[in-house]
Amino acid sequence: MEIEFLKLQSCGGDYILIDAFKNTGLAKLRLDELAAQITSRRFGVGATGLVLLAPGQKLRLRLSCFDPAGAETSSDPLAVRCAARYAFDSGLLGEEASVMEIQDGSVRVEVLDAHNITVPSGPPGYWDASGALRERPGETFTRTLRLADREHNYTPVALRGVQAVFFPVASPLEPDRFSPAVEAAGLFTPGTQLVFARLISREELSVRAWQVGLGELLASEGAACAAAVAAVLNGFGDRQTLVHLEGGNLFVDWAEADNLVYASGPADYVFLGTYYYDEGETDEE
């Protein structure tokens, strides 16, 4: 079966997008197998994930995301941004500010210009899910871990996952050495993102991110937003911050009015093509 697709990327997070309005035979296919095949970087097109745009049950558009193992996942904001770029350009979204169905509800997106799109996240929370994080006078947000006879302070944030945000100013850290040592010591559970934030000014940060069990991340909107939140909680930064990631830049706004975190950034087309799908094939080791 021939399937038309596009590849887009946002801050280095690359996604294969399939438009079900054009590819009408998708309903007959096993989408988990399709996702595993087409996202394979050895035997397929190669991508972080597969994004499917199809008619929604309540709204015009439904966005479904699949990881390289073929499992349907919650919608990564980088994938949402790529989907919104295509949907707006193709006329599937008629307004700059629109809403799409996703696995766990809906998401509102705003197309700012021909390059940038805003996607909301949050509100940020505590790791123990005891409530939403807010600036509170007198509250201490930092925790300490001990590694190789040294203590390191970090700020825990839960925002599309869990993040431990480090501001290594007084004692610089080398993420390539520090992160594997943290993993080896079993100090954080798999999936936790270690976020290393360098303060450039109160309105600008540089961030590197490492996910326990996966390694360094080229792009993570959760890491960028968590770093911006942690900077505010510690009195290091303002609520509107430009965050430099390894794969690109995001402008993060932790809105005081609704306590949501809004990230604005680019979504770019990489290429389009036709994938020849053979049902039942696997990406063999």
Q: Does residue 204 fall inside a structural domain? A: yes
Q: Count structural domains, the chain.
A: 2
Q: Does residue 131 fall inside a structural domain? A: no
With CA atoms as reference, report the closest residue to 264 among 274, 279, 254, 276: 254
Q: Is the pTM here over 0.85, yes or no?
A: yes
Residue 106 backbone phi and psi in degrees, to 5: -150, 160
76/13 Cα distance (integer angstroms): 10
Question: How is residue 132 annotated by DSSP?
Answer: B
Six token digits for residue 209: 């991110």
Question: Are the CB atoms for 83 and 107 separated by under 8 Å?
Answer: no
Q: Does residue 218 fall inside a structural domain? A: yes
Question: Are the CB atoms for 20 and 92 separated by under 8 Å?
Answer: no
Range of the domain at 43: 2-118+268-276
Per-residue model confidence as pLDDT tens for the chain (285 residues): 899 999 999 999 999 999 999 998 888 889 999 999 999 999 999 999 999 999 999 999 999 999 999 999 988 999 999 999 999 999 999 889 999 999 889 999 999 998 899 999 989 999 998 899 999 888 899 999 999 888 999 999 999 899 999 998 766 688 899 999 999 999 999 999 999 999 999 999 999 999 999 999 988 999 999 999 999 999 999 999 999 999 999 999 999 999 999 999 999 999 999 999 887 665 544
Residues 147 and 113 in one domain: no
Q: Does residue 89 fall inside a structural domain? A: yes
Q: Does residue 203 fall inside a structural domain? A: yes
